[in-house]
Structure 1
Amino acid sequence: MNLNIKILNQKEINNMKISKKFTSIFLAGLLSASVAFSTPA
């Protein structure tokens, strides 16, 4: 039982790392997009 929880946690940690990377990339793109829109051409 304990082993299953450990494996699940490891998977969740890996998923969190991956989603964190995508989230930071997405936020960076969103930030640059909002800066580009707010800056008058």
Structure 2
Amino acid sequence: MNRRKFLYQSGLLAAGALAAFSWVGCQNDAPASEEKQEA
């Protein structure tokens, strides 16, 4: 295996997971805050 390629893929995977996690968190926070403001 090529170590550089492995590090690149692992870093890309980690960045994608972090971005997806933060995006899902924003999507979950927005409706909750809107519901709290309405109630």
Query: Does the pair score TM above 0.5?
Result: yes
Aligned: 1:26 with 2:10: no
1:5 Cα shift?
A: 3.3
Cα distance in structure 2, aligned partners of 1:35 and 1:22: 20
Cα distance in structure 1, aligned partners of 2:22 and 2:10: 18
Cα distance in structure 2, aligned partners of 1:23 and 1:17: 10
Structure 1 stretches lacking a partner, 5+ long? none
Q: TM-score, normalised by structure 1?
A: 0.67
Q: Secondary structure at the match of 1:18?
A: helix
1:19 corresponds to which letter in structure 2? L
CA RMSD of aligned residues (A): 1.4
